[in-house]
Amino acid sequence: MSYVTVGNPGNAADPATGSLYGSVSYTYDIGEYDVTDSQYAAFLNGVDPSGANTLALYSPQGDAEYGVTFNSGAASGSMYSVIPGYANMPVVDVNYWDTLRFVNWMNNGEGNATTETGAYTLTGGTPTPSNASDLLANPQHNAGATVWLPSENEWYKAAYYNPANSTYSMYATQSDTAPGNTIGNGADEANYYTGNGYSVTQTSDENSNQNYLTAVGSFTGSESYYGTYDQSGDVWNWMSTTEGSQYVWLRGGFWNVSDDVGGVSSFNRSGGYDPTDESAGLGFRVASEATAVPEPSSWAMMVIGVGLYGLARRSRSGRYRFG
């Protein structure tokens, strides 16, 4: 997985949020892209080579956006594979506990099947850990972690902060203007629903057999100031920031969200999501300790991927819920 470095430590928070979000006191790396199906399939084969799936890390919903398949007759360590054409699609239908186990695996190394310790300590050996309430009340990653699920401040800064003038944009495309949704190298474009319809089809007709995701980095001219892609649109991202000891916050919007309530903008902070929620519009990216030796733009390192479904409906509060 490729990372970009988010520097400029000690930046002020975004005043548009009441100075609540965006300030980070240290330099860190964050995934240039969302975790992909190929990366998540590698994770599944690494931690569940026999296909037992006792932690429910694989839970296909039968939706067109899910890109990982299972074959019980395949050799041990290769039972999970990517559906042709989906290798670089963001993994969806992963819940909060799946994301913590993924980053644990990354901390422990690809050759280690341990998912319950690393960046986070999960107890009980069950899909929902027995210490779930404690983890949600205190979502800080363990000391010494090298890869973790980004906090809301880490995610927000990577998406919207402009280090050249210490300001924030409204969209993760270096713009205060709502993006278009045309795939390609145009500036200020993203995968979400606009007046033209869906980005993938450019029509407003919805087909349950159509995959509406775009491969990570498809909007090549629409990166954030730090060089991340798709932090506006494509899939919502889980973050480690939680609400009390029950719920988790999401950011970024997704392919079926429109901009009428801030959709893919910095204003759309969606909370109240159960950590077991899964959806065809819900994925994640990872954060990491800053690379020791900088590259001119991006930071090459390793990563792995995710997967699954659920269409979103907007609640009366204006938030988008999955079901």
pLDDT, one tens digit per residue, over 217-258 is 999 999 999 999 999 999 999 999 998 888 999 999 999 988
pLDDT score, position 272:
77
Under CATH, domain 1-323 is a member of which superfamily? paralog of FGE (formylglycine-generating enzyme) (3.90.1580.10)
pLDDT score, position 111:
76
pTM of the predicted structure, to 2 decimals = 0.89
Domain boundaries, the chain: 1-323
Other beta carbons within 10 Å of 159? 26
pLDDT score, position 314:
30
143 Cβ partners below 8 Å, 6+ apart?
A: none
Q: Tell me the C-alpha distance between 67 and 86, whole Å.
A: 5
pLDDT score, position 260:
62
Q: Per residue in 102-145, pLDDT tens?
A: 999 999 987 788 999 999 999 999 999 999 999 999 999 999 99
Question: pLDDT under 50 in the chain at which residues?
Answer: 293-323
pLDDT score, position 297:
34
pLDDT score, position 183:
97
